[in-house]
Amino acid sequence: MPTSTFNKSFPTITKIETFIPAAGGDGGDYHRQKDGHWILDGGKPHADKAGVKCGISNPMSGWEQYRENRTSWGIDVLGSLVCIITASDGTQGVSTGFGGPPACWLIEQHFARFVIGSDPRDTNRMWDQMFKASTFYGRKGLPVAAISVVDLAIWDLLGKIRGEPVYKMIGGRAKDGKIPFYLTGPEPTHARKMGFWGSKVALPYSPRDGFDFVRRNLDFLQKHREDLGDDFPLMVDCYMSLDVHSAIQLAQGAIDRKIDITWWEEVLHPDDFDGHKILKARLPQVKWTTGEHEYSRYGFRQLIEGRSIDMLQPDVMWLGGLTELLKVSAMCSAYDIPVVPHGSGPYSYHFILSQPHSPFCEYIANSADGKSIAPVFGNLFLDEPVPHGGSIDVGDAPGFGLELNPAAVLIPSAHFLAPSPDKGLSRTDDEQRVAKLQQLAAVKANGINGVNGGAH
């Protein structure tokens, strides 16, 4: 009589490939958008300058020439990538994220060795090897974002091999109903019309905009609050643009003017861990959140143990993928700190559904004016689920439930990572084919944008 029924036969990983989506709005880089998109310039007229958008307060706001639009200093410089991992039975897992060609290079040249030949169930071992082997140049930022994309493709592959959704492999359903959403965008009144429970706006003015930045920001927030009435939550994203003193000035000013703000997000530079302790000590009644630019459990350990952050917002496409997010989440659960990931579409939906201390989800408006719902990853996937009426019901499709759109043009990383001088300097047939496909995709994208008013 057998002592175990464990099935030792399981497909192994045979191939890992990386690509760049040819169409700008496709993929996991939130900021690869056309000019005029609210996420780049805030979408609001400047309070004092006619015909100028007021911008989004950010760490570069101190430089006049880079103040009005975040693409001016390169927020979109890396772009998206797509990772496809193939198993020995032919099953493929696919993911997207940000990091563009540099991330493709890291995955192909460095991380592939830890993935090829592996059992896709060995997520912890593969993650540990990728993270530790890149310690000498990694730990945070782009290298960990590249690891994240590989990790998400592995989870997608695993779900597709097993024929079950990712959330069922990480603890199962922890919520009875649908996941409720708040909207991040320029028009909170539209968020309410579309059924979201609350809305988050970008802070327009940084301390570098002048001594009266507090008044101008509070005027901006008061107008939103008046438009919304008292019963709709309003949050403020400060995108690392304040310091301890200015954050206290703003939050105290809102209290004094009775502008109800549900939370103040990412007010400080991500490395100012002690600064958060001062904020919480000075204004304990204010809800402070952060985390989207923090990486790995080591980075989050400091934020969690400080007991000064009221909600953590890791980005699953940046902090290390789902494998690392689960570890950060477990640490947070021991402190009763809610975890509400930054954006990330379906990757976040599966995580949130499985976590009792992840009460709702963020939807970052992907349409140019923030007034309609568009897929988070553009046209990269077929039928990407999006929130309807302010909520989503995660289906039972295997993996993350994302199938690549055959119409999405993917440029193989070999085309830009491995130039081959012995083939000559003229374009190969293959390259000409890709160039032609890119042209077609651009024509198609323009056509779609024409219909949707730039929503892409």
Q: Mind telling me the catalytic residues?
A: 342
Q: Which is nearer to Mg ion, 237 or 384 (CB)?
A: 237
CA atoms lying within 13 Å on the CB side of residue 132: 7
Q: Helices 123-133 & 321-333, crossing angle to 10 degrees?
A: 100
CB of 324 to Mg ion, least distance (A): 19
Give the residue among 322, 397, 405 at the shortest CA–CA distance from 148.
322
- CB neighbours (10 Å) of residue 363? 22
How many chain residues are in contact with Mg ion, going by CB under 5 A? 1
Distance CA 363, CA 426 (A): 44
The mark string for 25-64 relative to Mg ion (x by CB under 5 A, - otherwise) is ----------------------------------------
CB of 200 to Mg ion, least distance (A): 8
By CB under 5 A, is residue 315 in contact with Mg ion? no
CB 115 within 8 A of CB 133: no
Q: Which is nearer to Mg ion, 42 or 159 (CB)?
A: 42
Q: Which is nearer to Mg ion, 237 or 324 (CB)?
A: 237
Applying CB under 5 A, among 26, 68, 187, 237 the residue interacting with Mg ion is 237
Q: Which is nearer to Mg ion, 205 or 381 (CB)?
A: 205
The mark string for 197-236 relative to Mg ion (x by CB under 5 A, - otherwise) is ----------------------------------------
Alpha-carbon dihedral sign for residues 235, 68, 246, 222: negative
Distance CA 319, CA 296 (A): 5
Q: Which is nearer to Mg ion, 237 or 294 (CB)?
A: 237
Specify the amino acid at residue 27: G
- CB neighbours (10 Å) of residue 23? 23
Specify the amino acid at residue 69: N
Residue with the closest Cβ to Mg ion?
237
CB of 451 to Mg ion, least distance (A): 30
Angle at 336 between CA 334 and CA 338, to 5 degrees: 120
CB of 7 to Mg ion, least distance (A): 43
Q: Which is nearer to Mg ion, 311 or 408 (CB)?
A: 311
> Contacts with Mg ion in 79-98 (CB under 5 A)?
none
Determine the 3-state secondary structure of 45 from DSSP. strand
Distance CA 307, CA 304 (A): 6
CB of 62 to Mg ion, least distance (A): 20
CB of 292 to Mg ion, least distance (A): 5
CB of 362 to Mg ion, least distance (A): 8
Residue range at the interface with Mg ion (CB under 5 A); choices 92-100, 237-245, 275-283, 367-375: 237-245
Q: Which is nearer to Mg ion, 107 or 376 (CB)?
A: 376
> Contacts with Mg ion in 395-454 (CB under 5 A)?
none
Q: Which is nearer to Mg ion, 76 or 237 (CB)?
A: 237
To 10 degrees, the CA torsion angle through 156, 161, 164, 167? -30
Alpha-carbon dihedral sign for residues 445, 446, 447, 448: positive
* Alpha-carbon separation of residue 278 from 88, 207, 268, 274 (angstroms): 53, 19, 11, 7
Give the residue among 203, 265, 272, 262 at the shortest CA–CA distance from 233.
262
Ramachandran assignment for 412, one of left (phi > 0), alpha (psi -120 to 50 degrees), beta (any other): beta
CB of 135 to Mg ion, least distance (A): 27
User: Which stretches of the chain bind Mg ion, using CB under 5 A?
Assistant: 237
